[in-house]
Amino acid sequence: MRVVRTIAEWRSLRAQFGASACVGFVPTMGALHAGHESLIESARRESDIVVLSIFVNPTQFNNPEDLEKYPVTTEQDIALARKHSVDYVLMPESMTELYPDGYRYKVSEIEFSQELCGAHRPGHFDGVLTVVMKLFNLVRPTRAYFGEKDFQQLELIRGMVNSFFMDVKIVACPTVREADGLALSSRNVRLNENARKKSQSFPLALMSAPTVEAARAKLEELGFAVDYVVDKGNRRFGAVSVDGVRLIDNVER
């Protein structure tokens, strides 16, 4: 397994892949957990070459404190990648490696990106789409793997790929949950014991409340700060904070 920290090195390695190589790509911000492992396992099964990227992307954080507190577990992440036989870990070592333009150029979607998380995190999806576009251009994957926990992100990335005629297949992987139902997320490590216990009620309320109003009322009664609970298509989406840690989830209705 090779860990690559500069774009120049990555580009020279990528140029050596054969034209017919099937490349599976798992983009992440690190702090890897079993949800990421399931994406890597799918990529490993379906690809000749597996590339994992780890980059805590500053442009998708609207809140500087959230960026500062984002967990970084580089050593464990590299060990986990090795365990799953990843071929390349692309870890750009600085913001300027990926943003030589200083983020003067960006990718925006102007409808769905303004709803749900976008309504509460201005600029978030511009940052996500821009970094994913950059990574796709660098990695040139055959398939890229995303978790359904970030369903809005997944849909927006699919939309970007279709709109820009990008030659990559987006593979959606089911949300991985703890035994009590909490969706795995890198942010979960920031939950203290009390908040962690409380968090199990979040997916339960989304699943069991008859209406979005009832789900919101239940969550507020339990002490969550609720950003939104919204039914859209065949899914119910929610975002809450508990002791300053933001959780998102979505369930089929």
* Residues at the site binding ligand PAF, with contacts judged by CB under 6 A: 27-29, 57, 60, 128, 131-132, 150, 153
Q: How far is the CB of 203 from ligand PAF (least distance, A)?
A: 19
Task: Tell me whether residue 33 is one of the annotated catalytic residues.
Answer: no
For 60, residues 6+ apart whose C-beta sits below 8 A from its C-beta are 123, 124, 125, 126, 127, 128, 131
Nearer CB in complex with ligand PAF: 32/219: 32
Interatomic CA distance for residues 9 and 16, integer angstroms:
11
Judged by beta carbon, residue 157 or residue 240, the one nearer ligand PAF is: 157
Task: Show the tokens assigned to 134.
Answer: 């950059």
Tell the smallest beta-carbon distance from residue 36 to ligand PAF (Å): 8
* Shortest CB 133 distance to ligand PAF, Å: 10
Give dist(CA 135, CA 169) in Å, integer: 14
128 vs 215 by CB, closer to ligand PAF: 128
Please, which residues have CB within 8 angstroms of residue 205's CB and are 6 or more apart in sequence?
A: 215, 218, 219, 222, 238
Q: Which residues, including other chains, have CB under 8 Å from residue 152's CB and lie 6 or more apart?
A: 112, 113, 115, 116, 117, 118, 125, 237
Q: Other CB atoms closer than 10 Å to residue 173's CB: what's the count?
A: 20
Integer Cα distance of 14 and 5 in angstroms? 13
Sequence-ordered strand ranges (E) for 5-96: 23-28, 49-54, 88-90
CB of 211 to ligand PAF, least distance (A): 29
- Rounded least distance, CB 127 to ligand PAF, Å: 7
List beta partners, residue 241.
225, 246
The minimum distance between CB 124 and ligand PAF, in angstroms, equals 9
Whole-angstrom distance, CA of residue 108 vs CA of residue 45: 33
Q: What's 250's DSSP letter? A: E
Q: What are the catalytic residues?
A: 36
